[in-house]
Amino acid sequence: MKQSYTLQFARLRAASEAEFMERDSYGIEFWFLGLLKLSELRAKDTFRLPEAELEKADADIEILREMFKSRKIDTEYLRARLRHALNHGAESNPNNVDVYLSRAMEKARERGDDVILAGDLLQVLLAEPTDTLRRFLEE
């Protein structure tokens, strides 16, 4: 299962958030924090990649922005609230990461690709949020 540069960013951001919160393991909610942050960035300011790869990354980031915008999600506000909740014990099951990544891989295959984009994972998370994410998405 290959991951795009954008999805790798979300994974690394998830690990960084978990480390900051002194958690040994983390669930997909931490990846969601990474997706929220990624949607606020531009590829050229974030990645050192060839121009063609930067364009792909920007296209994926734009998909994230559009998905959040269509749901009227203020990414900065939601990121702060979710981070606070996770830092204060909100549930995040590390066993759910593989399940969500498998579903995202199905989305990639539907697109005719073998690389999971950040947008694939976000699409799955918005369609089937964890209980913790649902609480924030329904506000």
Please tell me the predicted confidence (pLDDT) of residue 34: 97
Please tell me the predicted confidence (pLDDT) of residue 139: 77
Quickly list H helices, the chain.
5-20, 28-38, 43-46, 51-70, 75-87, 97-110, 118-127, 131-137
- Reported pTM: 0.95
Please tell me the predicted confidence (pLDDT) of residue 1: 77
Please tell me the predicted confidence (pLDDT) of residue 3: 96
Question: CATH: 1.10.3720.10, 1.10.1780.10, 3.40.47.40, 2.40.10.10. Which one for 2-137?
Answer: 1.10.1780.10
43 contacts 49 by C-beta, under 8 angstroms: yes
Q: Which regions in the chain score pLDDT beneath 50?
A: none
